[in-house]
Structure 1
Amino acid sequence: ITKRMEHRGWGWQALWWHHFFLLWSTTDAQTRYSIPEELEKGSLVGNVARDLGLGLSDIFVRKLRVASEAGEQYFSVDAGRGELVVNDRIDREALCGQSASCLLPLQIVIENPLQLHRMEVEIKDVNDNAPTFLKSDHVIEIAESRVAGVRFPLEMAEDPDVGSNGLKTYTLSKDECFTLKVKEIENGRKIPELVLTKSLDREKKAVHSLFLTAVDGGNPVKSGTSKITINVLDINDNVPQFENAFYKVDVKENIANGSFVISTRAADVDEGPNGEIEYSLGVHTHPSVLELFYVDAASGDIYLKRQLDHETQSSYRIDISAKDKGFPKMEGHCTVQVDVIDVNDNAPEIILTSKSTSVPEDSSSGTVVALLSVRDLDSGDYGKVTLQLLKTSSFALKPSFSNNYALITNGPLDRESISDYSIEVTAKDSGTPPLLSTKTIPVSITDVNDNPPVFTQRSYNVYLKENGVPGSILFSVSASDLDSGENAKISYSILDSKVQDVSVSSYVYMNSENGSIYSMHSFDYEKLKVFEIHVQAKDQGSPSLSSNATVHVFILDQNDNAPAVIYPSSAALGSLSHQRMPRSAKAGHLVTKVTAVDADSGHNALISYRLAEATDASLFTVSLYTGEVRTKRAVSEQDDSSQRLILEIKDDGEPLQSATVTVSILLEDALHEPISELRHHKASEPSKKTGRITLYLILSLASVSVLSLLTFVILAVKCMRNSRSSGSCCCMRRSDSDDYKNPNRNLQIQLNTDGPIKYVEVLGGDMMSQSQSFRSCMSPMSEYSDFTLIKPSSTTDFKEVISVLDASLPDSTWTFESQQVILWRLPHIKALCISSLQRDLVPPPSCSPCLTNASTAKSWMRRCDDLHTFTENTKGKPI
């Protein structure tokens, strides 16, 4: 055991001395601590944080740790106090053997950013080992013929301790024939020799028992004892003598097993068996030597049994014994030193000192990715190593000190292009031929949020039928993000915007995970035709990135509105319209005109009229597209005086929508037309009445004229008062403060007539802009001169107007002949449509409530456009 420890100690001693002198020559200054061996776990070595100029918080933040080159982790850092403490039992003898100096090199690795500091811990010897002998009992045979002064080498004791704690001296128990002589050889080693001081007399004492004690210089002193038994022999009195007492040979470590090492020779002057010599390894030979060498018993040649290794042990000491065959046997001794010569048989070893092998993709050039060190167990030039990278331009190696390197970035990184690198590092020594080793270092590029989500399109068009089911999906948008992890997780949202002064979130909502857009309620084309949804895709990075897209939603019209009759007015007159016509009417006489509108658009709003039922179908006809009811032939005496017509009004949609109106016509022998100064009265047939009737007619005409004049005087006075109070004229546009744009507007009076139906329009300026207007409804009967002037307002309910007229006039006045609309004015959109639809001057509805709201006005404008197109396609056929 002692020889094995000695062998291991010498190996560690040589290895650490080699590293020590190499590091000492390349490092300007290093931190060194000194501690005794065998300290308990947790014992203080030194304050690393203070010596490196670090705060206690830096130990946690920067992840300070200890890396040992010896392979065992003997030390650790107390993170709470920044102290280097003993992590495991340290046996100096196991580490450094008999070396005078025992240094443990340490690497202090600090991450974030990566730094490497080198330290040394000197392990001081303590007297923890007592001297020991390989054998506790040793037998020596000495012939009685040996003369005094002969020396017999004894077994040397082994003490792993060094310095003053090592082996100091030997002592021998008292004996009258023997004394002890201590011989000092190279390296300060001491060999005990037994000296015969007095001739032996076997007849007096055949056996001598002695005790050899080895004492060290420690405090307290430790010792070891070996028993020596001396058997006194007779006769053979010549000892074999070697040619040289010391042999030395150099052998390369790659020498083959069984190779010859060296030859030793001894001679014995005795004759016969007493002069025949046998060679053998000494009885005190260390087991490690016995495993490697053997000696030929006849020739004394030494051979190699196993492969040598310079890195394990560079030198061996072999004791050779030569014994004769006499009785008693005589024995001679010599020493052989075998020095093992190094060859380049160890490839360099690359050691990854740091653990982190990932780097953010936005790292600047020169960022430390990993720390490397390289070592070669060979010596001299064989141990000089160069390090280089293979096939990479994004990384480089930066030397630090000794054989330590830093792997750094050498340019910009892009995880989306390359997310993982396998960096091959090659180490090559200076031997001939050189030996190589390669290590692959995986480096992961961590993602940073440098890519915003990208929609598949910047703009989407969605076509949606009206009257859909609330909660149904409208559309799905999709975006992608080139980043990874949280940086690529996308959430969708709708940006706040207005649709008809209402937040778009009142119309739709969006699934934040998959980008699906759902309706909140059913859409009505007549109220909303198109709107925009501004959507945003946002990732979960920090800071987050986003992009926007626009979804254009177009509402498609469905035929969900039936035609609405606006003349005759069902609200004022009920579902039955009463009309009068003279029996003298000829073929083509205009009896009445039915006017209807449809809130839908396109073909869904194209209206046609049909005579569904009639008392006499041969007497009347209805225009398919205008709704005019005319006579097909002249009225005869045989025709009933009361005619009833049912007109069906249909649109062109799918499914078809329809409405009906009933017209009751009274045929009269004579029909008196009221006289009005607002139109030119055609010459009537010669009166066959009496002068009294003529007088009544003249009085009626005069009264109506006076009433009309009074009406216009009142209107002029009211206009002048309004112009003084508001700064504008009633016949002109309002000021800009009233949200009217056109500064030039003149009062226009338009007289329209067709048979018995008469109306006049008073228009304020052009019909394509908003204007101020007045409506007036007057009874045509001479005995009623009621006049109603209504100021326009966007909130005016025409149903209330009709109610006012109903309250002011008797029911008898609401006949066909008495329905004269004296003043009728719609906003510009309605006026345009009425003018387009009724350009042949058919009577408009009297104060109809169905045209008062904005949506209906817009539908009138669409009707107008559609009907104009239809008119052009039908080559001017009136519709």
Structure 2
Amino acid sequence: MVVLHQCPLVRSKLLQLILLLTACEMRSGQLHYSVPEESQHGTFVGRIAQDLGLEVTELMPRMFRMVSQGRRDYFEVNLQNGILFVNSRIDREELCIKTPVCTIPLEVILDNPLRIFHVEVEIKDINDNAPLFPAAEQKLVVAESTHLGSSFPLEGASDDDIGSNSHLSYKISPTEHFSLDVQNKEEHGESLVLVLRKPLDRELTHMYNLFLTATDSGKPEQTGTAHVVINVLDLNDNAPVFNQSVYKIKLSENARTGTLIITLNATDLDEGINKDITYSIRSVNPHNFAALINLDQSTGQIRLNGELDFESIKVGEIGVEATDKGTPPRKGQCKVLIEVLDVNDNAPEVTVSSLSVPVQENSPPGTVVALLSISDKDSGVNGQVTCSLNPSGLPFKLTSTFKNYYSLVLAELLDREQVAEYSFLVTAQDQGDPPLSASSSLVVPISDVNDNAPTFAQPSYTVFVKENNPPGAHIFTVSASDPDVAENALVSYWLDEKLWPLSSYISVHSESGKLYALQPLDYEELKLLEFQVRAKDAGLPSLCGNVTVQVFVVDENDNAPAVSGPDQDSPTLVKVPVAAGHVVGKIHALDADSGYNAWLCYELHDAASGPWRVGLYSGEVSTTRALEEAEGGNSQSLLVLVKDHGKPVMSTTATFSVSLVASAQAAQSDARLSGMGGNTKPLADSANLYLIIAICSVSSLFLLVILVYVALRCQSQAKEAMMYGPGTATLVCASEVGSWSYSNRHSHILAGVSGEPGAKSDLMVFSPNVPLWLASSEV
């Protein structure tokens, strides 16, 4: 049995052989069952074991089995109870199509002993198929001029069921123009026709949509539907018509090329080529608008073919014509009005129509500098412009003179010396959204007027010049500046013609301002030159400035000390005895120089000159020890060296003679004082010393009065006219050891002051600790 199950072919051959050998023992038998199609799995068919006369208990021992010849196992036998049931879905239309009786043959085989039974199961039809049309949609074409009663065939439906389940009846959607006629002909079967009952008008109804329904006679009944589309053929009896006679379109001027302006729609109630419409442009106004539009002849779309400019075209008018393709063709017209909307696409333009430059710095406020015109091609708020100056704070302002016309006027006083040129922007901005602006740069130079006099860096200059300068030496340079320009700043220098006495001493170069000493200066003759230098520009009228220059002549050590005093042939008589430190006489020497150069010191030429010494700065000759009467009758000559403190040091010598006499004697001794390059003065007795002290005191008081007078006069008269005159300049220098020498020469002081000419004396005081020549200045 296992082998038979595993090898169906062998099993089949074996069964055929067994059947042939035992055919005589077989008895024939057949059962007939029926079951509806589409029965579910497990549906009861019949008690096959009982109907075959078999016991249920012997089914398995005798190896009961059922074979379906060439078909699927639609049925199965339950070996526990011998019942035949449906094993899988049965579709009668699939098995037997249109066969009136549909059966499934089965063979029941008992192997022990071998017996075969034939069983038929009839599949009963149920109404499980709806009528089906060959096409879901049937199309008919009927001319609108078709005569009444004309018929048009329709396709009927079919039903896969049999019997009453396949008997069909038809109906169509109700319409007053058509009716359905079902004709049954024995030869050709059933036929369906559609009959025209009412005249057609395609312009009223160009298409009829009907539904044809087929219904079978089954229980329950099934229906099928087909869509019948009836198209009415057209005659060209209608002209194209636009849905509007005038189209109004608003289009922004910044619309891009290719923008769809409008799609025209002309309709024609006709059909076919009678309805096919082409569009064409009949007229365009203005003419230049024609190049900016493009009309599609088939779709009626009008597109922008260029760039619009509101400033050139504000309104465009297009005449359009629609023509069908019928015979003869019919036409329809419309008009398209396009209003161009302005956008803020034009920036303002700033035009400088007049510019009066340069502007003089003394121009009064309100002076018109420039005339400006502002324009904007846009309209409305897009063309409304405001004007401003950048940066702010300028001495100019804009004044509106007329619509979009402005004047640039001077708002404040100008000063070219502070700002020589103004650069700014005139900005015009419209009120569009977004706003556009434009700027124009203006450069306004300021012309100079001669409103500034030459000025010096300081009100006065003090110059120190060493004496004995070479003729024509450059001693100083004055420089005046003038903030003006060109000839207004061209400065020349000169000395007042009233200062003629100075012409032999000082000159000034008219262009460079260099001061030159025309001759050598001698400090012993001239100690101070004070004058004014004037600076004059070349403007019209010219302006002047002046400065005071004080030239101090700086002393040089060019004079050797000179011993002074009347000639004496007799030596100095000294009565002995005398005590140590007794002053026996004094050497007087003068130096024409001043300061350190005139500061004299005395010393003995021979340090071992007996009992004598000389005061270092006083020149007094005194004893170093007490002299006795025994030394009377002696005469001595002392050689004294007189030196100044200049560089290089200059010196001279003086001889001082001393004659010692005893107090009892009446004879006199003469002392002589001789000097190299100078004279000697004898001192008769100590009374002469008191006289000299008195004279010096009176002279000092006199000089102090002069000093106070000069100070008061300088305070009351700051600037006086130039004057020239002789005077005596006294030099005083205090020190720990006494006073410096006085000059016995007359000196000149030249001064440039305002007022009447007159003599002036100056007291010049120098500190011995800071030599004067260290402060001298030569340029």
TM-score bracket, normalised by the shorter chain, equals 0.3 to 0.5
Higher relative contact order (CA 8 A, sep 6+): 2
- The structure having more radius of gyration, on CA atoms, is 2
With the length of structure 1 as denominator, give the TM-score of the two structures: 0.41
Higher helix share: 1
